[in-house]
Amino acid sequence: MALRTLDSLGSLAGKRVIVRCDLNVPLKDGVITDDGRVRASVPTLNALIDQGARLVVCSHLGRPDGEPNPKYSLEPVAQRLSELLGKPVAFARDTVGESAQEAVASLEDGDVAVIENLRFNPGETSKDADERGAFAAQLAALGDVLVSDGFGVVHRKQASVYDLAEIVPSAAGFLIEKEVDVLDRLTEKPERPYTVVLGGSKVSDKLGVIEHLLPRVDRILVGGGMLFTFFAAKGFPVGKSLLEEDQIPTVTRYMETAEATGVDLVLPVDAVMAASFGADAEHVVASANALEETPFGETGMGLDIGPETAKIFADVIRSSKTVFWNGPMGVFEMAAFAAGTKTVAEALTEVDGLSVVGGGDSAAAVRQLGFADDQFGHISTGGGASLEFLEGKKLPGLEVLGWEQ
């Protein structure tokens, strides 16, 4: 079955439309530091406003553990949404209570209200289907149909993502439709050469995607903290660098599989070693097989790929027709260890083909480093959801909308 899209819902003029967005943005002292996910929700919202629908926008933010917590309020997001939509956006101070009911009852055609953080209610993330269903029924009372557009949570069986879609007529918004289209292109007959760039801290977070993609790609580039487990598997000392010793047998098998199947598994040839984990830490570049031969000896830790590796990775990326990147190459939040990530991002902007930034920290990194979203083919809004899609896993939030992978 194909994904149900907005067209399947018919005319929505005058109807109360619950829009499940992913507005889970980073906040610092109540100020949004990256509004990428809010901006990504705007095309669907504008299309519904133009139809004359009455919008009830809902989302989670952070992990408030089923209880109201001002730190995780969606009020700053509602204010930013108002600026982006160019119109007032009402804000309800609860999820399904009196404030939400009043806000929804006050909506006129084309109006927008945001209800408070869904995760303030324990039913949203409950493992108990009855508890989730009860909360979904309360949400359903606020609207006539559901437009699901929060791609970042489609891998979760949660009340607003899964159970609600079984109660009221439901369809995917433009964002989910686009995400599925792009990720489907990465798994079904991608243009070649096809390169996957993996980084981030732990190799254990990427086991499934490596396993699934090894037979499907031409090159895999490994950076970030996870590279040190690969180094250890090759017998290289890694000092105090991040290391998952229990994964050494697994990455050894991956390297053997890559060699046997002709996949080019490209590991760094150098790394930036630091005296300690800190923005001002003394640091030097060391060869892959000599990471402990620095002034820091066995206490040094790797915090970025080295400049020679960055150049090699960039050349491979630029020569590719399809590139998927998930996970920064180093501790990009610190300027001294951001060069590898910036070089990889720059190379992705120069790909003559499809370049996809796989959400999460990678998306945050490209924006923090000064790149614009439109410099890439696509920036995913869902890191975990993107990886699970590429692993071939069933995603409940897509299956309930008719998608079959």
State both tokens at 197: 């760039």
24 is in an annotated binding site: yes
H helices of 328-391, in order, are 339-348, 360-368, 383-390
CA atoms within 13 A on the CB side of 301: 17
23 is in an annotated binding site: yes
N- to C-terminal Cα distance for the chain? Answer: 9
Alpha carbons 193 and 174: distance in angstroms, whole number: 29
Which candidate, 211, 77, 125, 176, places its Cα nearest to that of 385?
A: 176
Residue 157 annotated in active site: no
Residue from 52, 297, 384, 392 carrying the catalytic annotation: 384
State both tokens at 57: 């926008």
60 is in an annotated binding site: yes
DSSP of 130-158, one letter per residue? HHHHHHHHHHHTT-SEEEE--GGGTTS--
62 is in an annotated binding site: yes
Residue 318 annotated in active site: no
The amino acid present at 313, given as its one-letter code, is F
61 is in an annotated binding site: yes
Residue 37 annotated in active site: yes
Tell me if 51 sits within 8 A of 87, measured CB to CB. no
Q: Are strands 31-32 and 27-28 parallel, antiparallel or unpaired?
A: antiparallel
360 is in an annotated binding site: yes
The amino acid present at 86, given as its one-letter code, is G
219 is in an annotated binding site: no
Residue 377 annotated in active site: no
Residue from 15, 37, 132, 178 carrying the catalytic annotation: 37
Residue from 200, 327, 340, 360 carrying the catalytic annotation: 360
Q: What is the dihedral of CA 45, 48, 54, 59, to 10 degrees?
A: -30
143 is in an annotated binding site: no
37 is in an annotated binding site: yes
362 is in an annotated binding site: yes
212 is in an annotated binding site: no
Residue 334 CB coordination number (10 Å): 17
Q: For residue 172, what are the β-bridge partners?
A: 5, 148
156 is in an annotated binding site: yes
Tokens 């998306």 locate to 363
Residues in the chain: 405
Residue from 39, 93, 185, 202 carrying the catalytic annotation: 202
Q: Which helix (H) or strand (E) is 303 found in, with range? A: strand 301-305
Strand 170-172: give its sheet, edge to edge: 90-91, 112-114, 54-58, 16-20, 145-148, 170-172
Burial class (CB within 10 angstroms; exposed 0-12, middle 13-18, buried 19+) of 310: buried
333 is in an annotated binding site: yes
Tokens 């105090």 locate to 240
Q: What is the dihedral of CA 132, 133, 137, 143, to 10 degrees?
A: 70
Question: Binding site: what residues are annotated?
Answer: 22-24, 37, 60-63, 119, 156, 206, 302, 333, 359-362
The residues that are catalytic are 37, 202, 360, 384
The binding site for substrate consists of 22-24, 37, 60-63, 119, 156
Binding-site residues for ATP sit at 206, 302, 333, 359-362
